[in-house]
Structure 1
């Protein structure tokens, strides 16, 4: 079953709460989306607000995947570069598929929808993202066409004594 994706859907309380719940659930399932479990919705809310402000200011766009029940099942943020020499590529941030939907190909669908969205943005030649080592994410992204282009060893401290690499990956669109 495929998710139904929408780019830049109107953000009201229902969508906002759906993304907040998604982000919290992904984080608590040990998803590498900026937090270490356990987290509450209130822990995640300020980061979501920062993303929503970036959207309101035209610096970011939201891609949402809904399941057959219309619930938010996946999401990602596409962020423009402010630097005039780097406007030909975008960042893909906070790539999330709800834990109850993982293993169904929804992550691949989300990345394909993000690539389609980026191609439609005009002048975008590539997508960059970063991921945390230790969970096999770099292998997943590579299987979706992304190439590892950089790695900073031990850049992310998950907890005392648990350091992970920060991996930069690139998907050429042309």
Structure 2
């Protein structure tokens, strides 16, 4: 079983609800995608609407992975910089693989597909992403070719008394 990746899919209600469901399931499984469990789809909906607006105005692009049942199983948003001195790299965010598919190598497949997508963007030399420390995510991204290039200690407050490092990773594309 493999995932089928699509860059810049048509955003219809089925896809929108699939991303929302994925985001809630990943969050509730403890995934570091901007929320802390427990969350509902209604908690996440405003963040998704914001990301979809960035797609509509061309500031971001979406990579979606569908499983064999054609359900949304993975996503990565690739966001262009607006600062004129940073136009040569994109941010990867909301990088998720559904918990039922974790441990199958789909995370690596998603990161490889994101790198391939970014290589197709004119003038893009690298991908940056931020991840929450304390979960081993740095090791995963390093195994995908990323290098840690920055760390802000205790910048992410998961809960009172539970602060995590904000880690910046970089993947040069050439």
Normalised TM-score (structure 1)? 0.99
Q: Whole-Å Cα distance in 1 between the matches of residues 26 and 32 of structure 2?
A: 8
| Corresponding residue number in structure 1 for 2:44 | 44
Matched, 1:78 2:83: no
Cα offset for 1:2?
A: 1.8
Matching residue of 1:113: 113
CA deviations over 1:57-83 (Å, ceiling 9, x no partner): 100000000001111000010000001
Deviation at 1:6, TM superposition (A): 0.1
Q: CA deviation at 1:107?
A: 0.3
Query: Equivalent residue for 1:9?
Result: 9
Runs of 5+ unmatched residues, structure 1: none
How far does residue 96 in structure 1 lie from its aligned partner after superposition? 0.2
Deviations 1:94-153 (A, max 9, x none): 100000000000000000000000000111000000000111000000000000000000
Q: How many residues are paired up?
A: 174
Distance 1:163 1:28 in 2: 19
Measure the CA separation in 1 of the matches of 2:160 and 2:69.
41
User: What is residue 26 of structure 2 aligned with on the other side?
Assistant: 26
C-alpha distance in 2 between matches for 1:153 and 1:139? 17
2:101 alignment partner in structure 1? 101
CA–CA distance in structure 2, aligned partners of residues 60 and 49 of structure 1: 13
- Segments of 5+ residues of structure 2 without an aligned counterpart are none
- TM-score with structure 2 setting the length: 0.99
Whole-angstrom CA distance in 1 between matches of 2:59 and 2:173: 20
Alignment partner of 2:157: what SS?
Answer: strand
> What value does the CA root-mean-square deviation take over the aligned residues?
0.4
CA distance in 2: counterparts of 1:85 and 1:127, whole angstroms = 15
CA distance in 1, matches of 2:115, 2:18: 23
